[in-house]
Amino acid sequence: MTEADACATEDLLSRAVGGESAAFTALVRKHQRLVYSLALRMLSDRHKAEDLAQDVFLQLHRSAASIESAAHLLFWLRRVTINRAIDRLRREPRYEDVSLEEGLLLVSDACDEDPLLQRRLRELVGRLPAAHRAVVLLRYQEDLDPAEIARTLSMSINTVKSHLKRSLAILREQVGNTAAMGPDGTASRLEHAPTKHGSVT
Amino acid sequence: MRAFVRRLTFACILLPAMLAAALAAAPDVRVKMPNFGSLAEKASDSVNITLDSALLSIAAGFLDSSKPEDAAAKELIAGLKGIYVKSYTFDKDYAYPSADVDMLKKQLSAPLWQRLVGVRSRKEQANVDIYMAIDQGSANGLVIIASEPRQFTIVNIVGSIDLQKLHRLEGKFGIPRLQLEEKK
Amino acid sequence: MSNNLDDQLRSALRAVDPGDEFAARVMARIANESMRPRRSMPAGYQWLSAALVAAVVFGALIAHDRQVRREQQGLEARRQLIEALRVTGEKLDLAYRVVNDEAHAATRENPGA
């Protein structure tokens, strides 16, 4: 997030707190991808994700005055979305698999990648335990480092690293077992490479 | 060891015995009131008051010390353990059951009880007997038996009584002027 | 196509947009919520809260009832005490009058005594 972007967000925030609904609408538009995507990957259901994302923004509308900065807003949105999703998963029976409609929709977003492998990965991420899933999403969707993930989820950094390591091992094993096929018909070979924040140990 | 056994014997046997003796020595000045069922049936108005020490302390809590009459009443009941009153008023002259009154009077015997007043008025056709329980030189019980042609009353006050304090209440709460000073 | 798992995950978990109308739906819900009483607690907590409120109200009613009864008992005890003192005073006065009358009568009958 650039400084100008942060200033613009904070301006919208203060106007929204002042009761300007157009400013709040702009805040929603600016952050709806983040919130909806986290909810969708956590719940694996578009309707539940839409519902949960709306709930998060409703809560933001009530709590906007307590948000101190653009960075705080991002932290708050990620934390509230993940916590609400985990609460919902505890309350309701787990939606076990990504629906066919969901798979096709998401495949269309990733036209230049291996669509079958990516669909399989989304399915497998959706089957990880909720805490592991949250760690993986914040790492690969939100591109947070382990320290930021630890702060967001109120976990120790060691727990975050351990969850990531375990999750990647499961995903690698599962994808390897099913021998995910690339668009050219060859089996995809997955290797763990160092990330921009360093490798997870 | 023997000293210990002696102390144990004293503690287990002698102390309770001494306590029982002390309790037995404390005079019971609450008289057993007759039922007076037949009187209550025929009375046009009856008063039956039972104020034990618990109720007296509750009543004391509802007396306002800033008011002179309440303060005097509070002072009067401070040493009391109970007030028991039975009073029956009739529309016409009535002959009271003498057996019940005799049973009551039998309880008021010497040396604990002393009859202070026993008067028969020809003019008012009234009989009044006042008994006081004197224990170790102090009055700690009072019984008034008053029979008039149309009213029969028994009052039993338990506890240390100061008639002068009652005198201070005269003219208050509807209590008549006792003119006790004129008796001196 | 990238072959490493990190890249594949980044690509697979790419953020998706809920659609252009999402913000409008959120604003409609906000408008709707502001029209009715706010439900800020989960259902379970609302039951708990309602139960707590009911318990507090019930407790307050019982305490009030006890207080009223205590006051009634106290006032009744005070009334009985005053009535007892009145009757006692009345009978002591009767005794005094009778004693006085009889003494005067005796004096009249035996003026020299």
| Interface membership of B61 toward C (CB under 8 Å) | yes
CA A138 to the chain's CA centroid:
5
B88 domain residue, yes or no: yes
Interface test with C, best of A109, A120, A178, A196 (most C CBs within 10 A): A109
Interface B-C: count of C-beta contacts within 8 A: 114
CB contact under 8 A, A192 and C26: no
CB contact under 8 A, B126 and C93: no
Residue intervals in chain A for CATH 1.10.1740.10: 1-95
With contact defined as beta carbons under 8 Å apart, do B54 and B6 qualify?
no
Q: How far is A62 from chain C (nearest CA, A)?
A: 9
Q: Which of the residues in chain C have pLDDT under 70?
A: 1-3, 36-42, 106, 108-113
Instruction: Give domain status of residue B5, yes or no.
Output: no
AA identity, residue C113: A
Nearest-Cα distance to chain C for B41, in Å, is 20
- Which pLDDT tens digit goes with each residue over B140-167? 889 999 988 888 999 999 988 776 666 5
- Segment 82-141 of chain B within 8 Å of chain C by CB: 83, 85, 87, 117, 119-124, 126, 128, 130
* CB-based contacts of A141-146 (< 8 A; 24+ apart in sequence): A141/A37, A141/A38, A141/A41, A141/C10, A141/C13, A141/C14, A141/C15, A142/A34, A142/A38, A142/A78, A143/A196, A143/C10, A144/A78, A145/A197, A145/A198, A146/A197, A146/A200
B135 within domain boundaries: yes
Shortest CA gap B18–chain C (Å): 36
Mutant choice from A12, A27, A30, A33 vs C, greatest count of C C-beta within 10 A: A33
Tell me which residue of A158, A114, A122, A155 sits closest to A140, measured CA to CA: A122
Predicted local distance difference test score (pLDDT) of residue B29: 82
Q: Give the number of domains in chain B.
A: 1
In a domain, B19, yes or no: no
What's the ipTM?
0.76
Full residue range of the structural domain in which residue B82 is found:
29-183
Helix, strand, coil percentages (3-state) for chain A, rounded to 5, are 70, 0, 25
Q: What is the pLDDT of residue C32?
A: 85
- A149 contacts A155 by C-beta, under 8 angstroms: yes
Question: Cα distance from C64 to chain B (closest Cα, Å)?
Answer: 18
Q: Are residues A188 and C2 in contact, defined by beta-carbon separation less than 8 angstroms? A: no
Quick one: pLDDT at residue A177? 67
Q: Which of A80, A35, A78 is nearest to A53 (CA)?
A: A35
DSSP annotation of B86 reads: E
Cα–Cα distance for residue pair C73/B173, rounded to 1 Å: 19
Residue ranges per structural domain of chain C = 5-109
Quickly list DSSP for B102-139.
Answer: HHHHHTS-TTTEEEEEEEEETTTTEEEEEEEEEETTEE
Task: Using DSSP bridges, classify how beta strands B45-52 and B80-89 pair: parallel, antiparallel or unpaired.
Answer: antiparallel
Q: Tell me the CATH architecture of domain A1-95.
A: Orthogonal Bundle (1.10)
DSSP A55-115: HHHHHHHHHGGG--SHHHHHHHHHHHHHHHHHHHHHHS----S--HHHHHHHHHHTTTS-H
- B130: which chain C residues are within 8 Å (Cβ-Cβ)? 92, 95
The one-letter amino acid at C75: L
Q: What is the pLDDT of residue B168?
A: 58
Interface B:A, ≥3 CB–CB pairs < 8 Å: no
Q: CB B56 to CB C81 under 8 A? A: yes
Predicted pLDDT at B98: 78
Encoded tokens for B96? 């009271």
Q: Checking DSSP bridges between strand B113-121 and strand B126-135, what pairing results, if any? A: antiparallel
Residue stretches of chain B with pLDDT short of 70: 1-27, 163-184
Q: Are strands B138-148 and B126-135 parallel, antiparallel or unpaired?
A: antiparallel
Best C1, C34, C40 residue to mutate vs chain A (most A CBs within 10 Å): C1
The C-side interface with B (CB below 8 A) comprises 73-75, 77-78, 80-99, 101-102, 105
Whole-number mean pLDDT of chain A?
Answer: 81
Q: Are C22 and A39 in contact (CB under 8 A)?
A: no
Facing residue for C17 by CB, picked from A33, A136, A188: A33
Q: Which of B122, B139, A53 is nearest to C102 (CA)?
A: B122
pLDDT tens-digit map of A148-182:
999 999 999 999 999 999 999 999 888 876 544 44
Among the listed ranges A117-131, A181-195, B47-61, which one has the minimum average pLDDT value? A181-195
A98-201 CATH choice from 2.40.240.10, 1.10.286.10, 3.40.50.620, 1.10.10.10: 1.10.10.10
Cα A23 to Cα A8: distance, rounded to the nearest angstrom: 10
Cα gap A49→A40, rounded to integer Å? 5
Q: Do A192 and C5 touch (CB under 8 A)?
A: yes
Query: Of A131, A119, A30, A32, which Cα lies nearest the Cα of A85?
Result: A131
